Structure 1
Amino acid sequence: MKIWNTGPFDNEEAQEVLEDLREGHLDPAELLPDIGQRHIEEDQGALIIALAHLAAGNQPAEGAAVDVEKLQTPAMKDKLRQCLEAVLIDGTVSALYARWQREGEKLHEWKSRSYVLLK
């Protein structure tokens, strides 16, 4: 997966899911792992972060807006909150966290830019 910055939409996986959502080609609920999954791959972690930011009302700076109605139901927000926590907890659960951990100084920047409060 190609990553060019620490923001929630600054990677190849996020850009692909944004395009698919804009075109209405997928249901975001189908993309999320089961709660309690023991390992989250890099691409799945990037997707979770992007979806969580969309659910919180954050839109990417570039490109058309994404319809976020399906992401903003209480059940979806709850599932996204749990998935996001798993991605940001540590490198044993999240391969994306482990990748940023290897980057060293960028880990804290990535974590702070990836976290979003889902009410």
Structure 2
Amino acid sequence: MSQEQNAQDDIWGTGPFDNSEAKELLEDIASGVFDPVHLLPDRSQRHLNADEGQVIVALAALAAADDADLPEGIEPAAVSGLREPAHRERLRQSLEAVLADASVSGLYERWQLSDGQLLEWKAQSWVDLS
């Protein structure tokens, strides 16, 4: 596959599901391939790359969404594990790291280098997981 084709396949928007990693995640969850809880990062991880950050933002949005607001094809039972208090807390901490700054988040760094979309991305990515 050429670099040009790769660039065209890379979806990149400010919403929690507006990127390639999140789209793939939603497809996998909808198909029942795996439990999304297994994608939560290790607490000892010091830096999250951009792909991990995209997944964390999407998982946080799924965990915080009301059942009626889940993306099409995602059943509440498929994300129920993300809503358990211990996993929700771990996800909250991971999301805070992703949104903190470029020293711990490759995704933050990528948005920091964008044309003025950092604040829009942060606003659309943050959800209340308390």
Q: Please confirm whether the aligned pair reaches a TM-score higher than 0.5, indicating the same fold.
A: yes
Q: Distance in 2 between matches of 1:50 and 1:116?
A: 10
Work out the CA distance in 1 between the residues paired with 2:87 and 2:18. Answer: 23
What letter corresponds to residue 72 of structure 1 in structure 2?
R
Q: What secondary structure sits across from 1:75 in the alignment?
A: helix
Check if 1:64 corresponds to 2:58: no
Report what 1:116 is aligned to: 127
* Other-structure match for 2:56: 48
Selected match of 2:100 from 81, 89, 93: 89
1:100 alignment partner, one of 107, 111, 114 = 111
Deviating beyond 6 angstroms after TM superposition, the runs of 4 or more aligned structure 1 residues are none
Report % sequence identity. Answer: 52
Q: Distance in 2 between matches of 1:9 and 1:49?
A: 8
What is the SS of the residue equivalent to 1:103?
coil
Cα drift, residue 106 of structure 1: 0.1
Query: How far apart in 2 are the matches of 1:27 and 1:99?
Result: 28
Residue 89 of structure 2 corresponds to: 78
In structure 1, the residue matched to 2:16 is 8
Gapped runs of 5+ residues in structure 2?
A: 1-6
Distance 1:44 1:59 in 2: 21
- Normalising by structure 1, report the TM-score: 0.91
Give structure 1 stretches of 5+ with no counterpart: none
Q: Quick check: 2:98–2:108 contact (8 Å CA) kept in 1? A: yes
Counterpart check, 1:29 vs 2:29 = no
**RMSD after superposition:** 1.5
Distance 1:15 1:50 in 2: 9
